[in-house]
Structure 1
Amino acid sequence: MIKAAVVGAGALGLLSAYQLALAGCQVCVLERCRVGRESSWAGGGIVSPLYPWRYSAAVTALAHWSQDFYPGLARQLLEDTGVDPEVHVTGLYWLDLDDEAEALAWARRQGRELFAVDIAEAYQQVPVLGGGFQRAIHMPGVANVRNPRLVKALRAALAAMPNVELREHCPVTGFIKEGERICGVTTAAGEIRAERVVLAAGAWSGELLGTLGLALPVQPVKGQMILYKCAEDFLPSMVLAKGRYAIPRRDGHILIGSTLEYAGFDKTPTDDALESLKASAEELLPALKDAEVVGHWAGLRPGSPEGIPFIGEVSTHPGLWLNCGHFRNGLVLAPASCQLLADLMLGREPIIDPAPYAPAGRLQ
């Protein structure tokens, strides 16, 4: 039995632990604060990159695998835990894109359902949409996952596994080395030894790798969102225009996001962002002018070059594995990223070519 310590209990850390535990590994998950309360809790949960055609093939490969995997994962978690992650297929309309032709060409190359639709059809399908939009493209199969419920379900699944231990409020301060091999981590509560250490600490991953003299190009990128509560049938589809989106949950909550701010580790919601998000919300869906904002928060995304995550073993430090740097697409890419990590750690045939995500040559 392989003992693995997973540093970070967001969606990536929890799902990494879940995949390893399913394979029979003994797993200890370490979280500096509370499970899933950072980026995983704060995001929107669209099961697609916002503009999938603008990303590299490396991101696309993870996204497509994950999109196909999510419905089954949600069913399994609901069956095992009674907690429904609410993978909600609504489709997504992009409005007045500058690069619409590129988007449609990408869809043809990838064999994905993404079509130009008459704007009148978009207004017919989404009657609450604001006026003045001229063009629309539509991807009917896109879902969103209710990320706080996904985290809750994963936590419950891990809690039921006898080979998993979960420690909250247990910040990792460094790594245990024997020669160059990583043999565990140091925490405020003492040392935890492990055959493998998985670093899945999101925006904090770079700081931890810095204790080994390694420079991981992952930095915190602040995102603010607001939440409305409407009737359950208020918004039948996700909509996106001018870089801002509206996401309907099954119970009528509507998420509006998000900002993109380079402000270090500051997660303070600001009045300026609130006003900007409200203006975007009312332009997209004018009826929200009369609705109450029931939530406003900020999270820290793990920004990385081109949004390509780091997945694999650090060649200079055997025993240390990375699953971090997913930028804006952590929830989208999580199932494939964690499956790939488990495949590589356990010597299985990887689901996709692991080369683009390998840390070798990408650490500074």
Structure 2
Amino acid sequence: SQAAPAVARAIVQLGGTVHQNCAARGIETEGGRLCGVLTESGTIRTKAAVLAGGAWASSFCRQFGFRFPQASIRSSILSVSPGAGGLPDALHTAKISATRRGDGGYTLAISGRGRVDVTPQQLRFASQFVPMFLKRWRSLAPGGLQGVRSGHETLQRWRLDRPTPMERMRILDP
């Protein structure tokens, strides 16, 4: 995708910095406003930050009293190297979805095969997501314990001076 590099470039052009491969553990506030981001490498003093936590975003926000409804659904996908021709940039059918990546390759997914792990976080936001799940019930199946095992669905609080669930599993591969 071209979105992440474009956002990073815009942040730098606006005078910000981008920190990759450096897990954020928490935030510091002063007078109700952000004044720093605590990372595994130390504190970054700032008045503004972009949350790019992916599947961990909701759990991260909960640590600090912010409500960020998020539902995780697992599905099988595969990556096709650049060179495939004749496909549009995006395609969705009842059987398959294909999306062109920034490198010219494609990400392919099997449509209608999503798995929903029943986790405390899924239950927490159930009132917001159950109506959508009911509309798509034919495309969903009960999942397993992957959401609990990987830590991205946790409701537990973590200490800021120790590794977080994001550091234990940096790339979500349930």
Contact 1:209/1:215, CA 8 A, preserved across alignment = yes
Contact 1:13/1:200, CA 8 A, preserved across alignment = no
Q: CA RMSD in A?
A: 3.6
Q: Which residue pairs with 1:17 in the alignment?
A: 8
Q: Which residue pairs with 1:242 in the alignment?
A: 94
* Alpha-carbon distance in 1 for matches of 2:82, 2:64: 49
Matched, 1:28 2:17: yes
Q: Which residue pairs with 1:215 in the alignment?
A: 67
* Superposition TM-score, scaled by structure 1 size: 0.27
Q: Which residue pairs with 2:159 in the alignment?
A: none
Q: CA deviation at 1:179?
A: 2.2
1:276-287 equivalences in 2 (<5 Å): none
1:20-59 equivalences in 2 (<5 Å): 20-23=11-14, 25=15, 27-31=16-20
Contact 2:11/2:18, CA 8 A, preserved across alignment = no
* Alpha-carbon distance in 2 for matches of 1:230, 1:15: 21
* Alpha-carbon distance in 2 for matches of 1:190, 1:231: 43
Matched, 1:194 2:46: yes
Identity %: 23
Which has the larger share of helix?
A: 1
Please identify the structure whose Cα radius of gyration is greater: 1
Which AA in structure 2 matches 1:28? T
CA change 1:197–1:243 in 2 (3 A) is same
Give the 3-state SS of the residue equivalent to 1:21 in structure 2: helix
* Alpha-carbon distance in 2 for matches of 1:260, 1:199: 26
CA change 1:181–1:222 in 2 (3 A) is same
* 1:131-183 Cα distance to aligned partner (Å, 9 max, x none): xxxxxxxxxxxxxxxxxxxxxxxxxxxxxxxxxxxxx1x21111011121111
Which AA in structure 2 matches 1:198? V
Structure 2 unmatched ranges of 5 or more = 120-174
Give the 3-state SS of the residue equivalent to 1:186 in structure 2: strand
1:341-356 equivalences in 2 (<5 Å): none
Contact 1:173/1:186, CA 8 A, preserved across alignment = yes
CA change 1:207–1:231 in 2 (3 A) is closer
Contact 1:183/1:197, CA 8 A, preserved across alignment = no
